[in-house]
Structure 1
Amino acid sequence: MVFKRRDRRNLLRAIWEVIYPKGGWTRAFHYVKHRVRRLPDSPERIARGIFAGVFTSFTPFFGLHFVVSVLLARIINGNLFASILATFFGNPLTFVPIAYSSLKTGYWLTGMNVDADRVRHGLGEMFYSASHDLWFNFKALFNNKTPEWAGLIEFYNDVFYPYMIGSLIPGVLSGLVCYYLSVPVIRAYQKRRNKGVFKARLARLKEKAAEKSAKKAAEKS
């Protein structure tokens, strides 16, 4: 196959590269930055895509961030590929402050008397309990066992619902900041790139004109 990897990755290596990409997060950040700046679209549409991706990274729809960002980008007429790239705003380095700010804001907006610090320390346990219930209930469809909902209900009430509500404010604010920072940067880069492309084309035209004139002179002589 043309696009088949030469070096096969095992499961542990694939998981590790999600947590820590090959070359480090700094290299990954610069890669995403250059890919966004080189997108063939208007600065405003690319920036709207960035807004969609950054906003989505604050939502609790883990595993569906690409899908949600693309849907949101289509709604606001943003660049779809830019929205996917911008979801990398949410990564293992930023997940803790993103989750904490979303939960804290959600508890404040909903008036819930839940300690965000307690939830933060028990977040892994709640995720495990909810995923265990999901898997158990799926198997219960085939083995006639009684489904268990306690872990899922606790996760929804204490984490998912306030997370979803609370993600709106920090998600929108962060998305707007990235939007207004991206537009002038992308516009300046595109102008500089277009100027370079124009100069290169002009140089090629001059070379062709010089070759033609030299050829005509050689024919006359």
Structure 2
Amino acid sequence: RWQLLLLLSITDGYYWSRWNKCIHGSRDFSDMVFVDNYIFNKDVYIQFNSTVGEYVGYTAHGVYNADLWNKDTNILQQERAEVDRYCKHNAELYQSAIADKTVPPKVKLSSVTQAGGRHPAVLMCSAYRFYPHGIKVSWMRDGAVVKTDVTSTEEMPNGDWYYQIHSHLEYTPKSGEKISCAVDHAGLTKPIIIDWDPSLPESERNKIAIGAS
């Protein structure tokens, strides 16, 4: 959504403003809507909405001007064209500059303590600072995907465009088995796979991997 504000102070305590909004939910902008609000002291008195295709007045003064502007084909054509000229044009620039960018995750595999679990050991696989939010975290034991005793958070926003997610695996250690965490994301050319090796020192076991985009 984009907004353009034009603000004009008429006299002390009275303000006239105009807000333009572009609203869409689809990536192809097929549902793009252009809204042009005329506001006096925070109240909308005239609005053009591209889904309606003409001006609508909400006060006596607004109705008078809306009827007048709707009779002017040049004004209506200009407003109706803003969906493509202003909204879709800027949406394409925004999407190519931000929305289509990807940042691969940093992945950390560590052992954590958990009270009251079904198993004596818990591993946590964490993915940090990735964009966009879609990501897949899975566990494997000796190459087989684990479906049980796994809990994961949702993708959580950091507040700086990046996201993080944490997945836990409760398990009972078995001699000689290999436990791995696999992370797949749009910013990666191939999934990141980290193997857990309890024989390594603590500093080596808590691994952090950075994927290649």
TM-score, scaled to structure 2: 0.29
Q: Which has the higher helix share?
A: 1
Q: Which has the higher strand share?
A: 2
TM-score, scaled to structure 1: 0.29
Greater RCO between the two (CA within 8 Å, min separation 6)?
Answer: 1
